[in-house]
Structure 1
Amino acid sequence: MKKHLLIALVLGLSTTICHSQVKISVQGGTGLTGITQNENYNANFGYRFGVGVEFPIDKTWSMQTGLQLLNRSYSIDEAVTALGITETGKQIYMGLGIDSKINGIYLQVPIKVAAYLPLNNNCGLQFSGGPYIALGIGGKSKLNWVLATNERYDDDDFITPSEGNGATLVNGEATHKTFDKNEGLKCLDIGLSLGVDFKYKCLFAGIGAEYSLLPIDKEFPKDLFKYSFQEDQTLVSPHNIGIEFHVGFCFNAGKR
């Protein structure tokens, strides 16, 4: 009996979707993305474009999916200093400046359940939520750093590298593919997304939030500066997180 009831429910839902007008949408916008569990990288804005398909179930509920091309990025551009005293009484000054940007391009497929709340005959609000799956397909990441050191015996005021001789400057740079197998991020991303859209006839504008359930890396320094100074070697597994803004238009694809 339960099996027959489940089959009838699935057939009824399939029939409802198949006889509804499928809606196709095109949208574009921007997203502000960052990562969790890290104290250095700041969120950056990136682009996103997509094509969506909506399968109405009734006047209120529908299923949504599609394909999106989006950019996620986060960066550091700052410097810190540290001062230590050795067993011999020497003061060691270290200044570290880092300019780093992690930039990834993803193909993303959302799978959402949506509910439409009409405000009048022409407009309304649509709330949606569900999982997404994304695959990193490109992007480059860079890291530029400068390390300045100076030391002297602890007698008078400490001399910084800009005030005296004996300073040592070391700098370096590195560029690699964001999803490189050896030193890049994980290319598979699965997460959850929530959103709300204001719809007016065939036009819509909305905002959404995303949270990744998979870490981008399992060995990521919690604090890159402390990690460089050997003060804190804590490694974390950060996740993607962000908000996105979009506008677009939709049209009916006809009855199936």
Structure 2
Amino acid sequence: MKKQLLIALLLGLSTTICHSQVKINIQGGTGLTGITKNENYNANFGYRFGVGVELPIDKTLSMQTGLQFLNRSYSVDEGITALGTNEEGKQTYMVLGIDSKINGIYLQVPIKVAAYLPLNNNCGFQFSGGPYIAYGIGGKSKVNWILASQEKIDSDDLTSGGDNRLMEGKTTHKTFDKNDGLKRLDIGLSLGADFKYKQLFAGIGAEYGFLPIDKEFPKDIFKYSIQENQTLVSPRNIGIEFHVGFCFSVGKR
């Protein structure tokens, strides 16, 4: 009895797929990617491309999934100046500059429900939403910093006069390094809206990650660098993307 039910279920599923107009799409695009809970890192443009599958449920609703190859990037390139005191209690003028870029490559699988609202026989709008699962597979990150200090504060030249100090450092590592990298797994929510014309489409999407990329990330990298503020946060990935593509149907009703 169980075997008969299983066979009947498989036959019914295969019949539904064979008589449905399953759509395959190829798309590519770009967008801004960033992180939450940090005061310094700015969003950068990233890219993405992939292949998608759309399984119709009825004339309006469908299920969407696929495989995307995407880049997430954010950076900081700025400096701060401050007045402080050295170990001897003398007033010191300090300049701290940081040039850092985090770049990650992900494979991503979206699982969304989409609703199509036709305008006529050739075009319409499609709205979609659902979770995504992403896994980091590569990328490199860098941090360059320089700290200059001078005892005298009445000079614009930090290389002359008074007690001058200049320290700098450079580090480059794999973004998802086991010891000093970000977490590979990312799960979040994806929303999208597309305008479709025959086999072509163009649209916009937004994503918000539920899992932290790092549980010990400095909230303010400048204060953290000079050990003024040791606040650590757990930022999430966020982003908005623009894409274009085309689709074609396989199977017949």
- TM-score (ref. length: structure 1): 0.89
The one of 223, 240, 245 aligned to 1:243? 240
Contact 1:91 1:158 in 2 (8 A): no
Change (3 A) 1:82 1:14: farther
Cα offsets for 1:149-171 (capped at 9, x unmatched)? 1225xxxx644525634311111
Report the Cα distance in structure 1 between the residues aligned to 2:35 and 2:141, rounded to whole angstroms.
15
SS of structure 1 residue aligned to 2:178: coil
* CA deviation after TM superposition for structure 1 residue 84, in Å: 1.6
Question: C-alpha separation between the residues in 2 aligned to 1:43 and 1:120?
Answer: 38
Which residue matches 1:31? 31
When the two chains are superposed, the root-mean-square deviation of aligned CA atoms in Å is 2.3
- Residue deviations 1:94-146 (CA, integer Å, cap 9, x gap): 21100110000000000000000001110000000000000000000011111
Aligned match of 2:177:
180
The within-5 A match list for 1:161-172 is 161=158, 164-172=161-169
Q: Structure 1 residues 94, 109: closer, same or farther in 2, change over 3 A?
A: same
Q: Normalising by structure 2, what TM-score?
A: 0.90
Structure 1 residue matching 2:210: 3-state secondary structure: strand
Match of 2:4 in 1: none
CA deviations on 1:56-113 (whole Å, 9 max, x unpaired) are: 0111000000000000000010000121236854102221100110000000000000
Distance verdict in 2 for CA 1:118–1:127, change over 3 Å: same
Identity of aligned residues (%): 80
Q: For 2:58 and 2:241, how far apart are their aligned partners in 1?
A: 27
Q: Structure 2 vs 1, CA of residues 87 and 78 (structure 1 numbering), >3 Å: closer, same or farther?
A: closer
Task: After TM superposition, list the pairs within 5 Å mapping 1:106-121 onto structure 2.
Answer: 106-121=106-121
Query: Are positions 1:220 and 2:217 aligned together?
Result: yes
Gaps in structure 2 of 5+ consecutive residues: 1-8
Task: Work out whether residues 13 and 57 of structure 1, in 8 Å CA contact, stay in contact via their aligned partners in 2.
Answer: no
8 Å Cα contact 1:140/1:177 also seen in 2: yes
Q: Residue 142 of structure 2 aligns with which residue?
A: 142
Aligned pairs, how many? 245
In the alignment, which residue of structure 2 is the partner of 1:6?
A: none
Change (3 A) 1:234 1:37: same
Q: CA deviation at 1:240?
A: 0.3
Task: Measure, in 2, the Cα distance between the counterparts of 1:184 and 1:87.
Answer: 34
Specify the alignment match of 1:4 in structure 2: none
Specify every segment of 5 or more residues in structure 1 that has no aligned partner in the other structure, as ranges.
1-8
Residues 14, 239 of structure 1: alpha-carbon distance in 2 compared, 3 angstrom cutoff: farther
Residue 232 of structure 2 is aligned to residue 207 of structure 1? no
Is the Cα contact below 8 Å between 1:17 and 1:56 reproduced in 2?
Answer: no
2:127 alignment partner in structure 1: 127
Question: Is the 8 Å Cα contact of residues 151 and 162 (structure 2) preserved in structure 1?
Answer: no
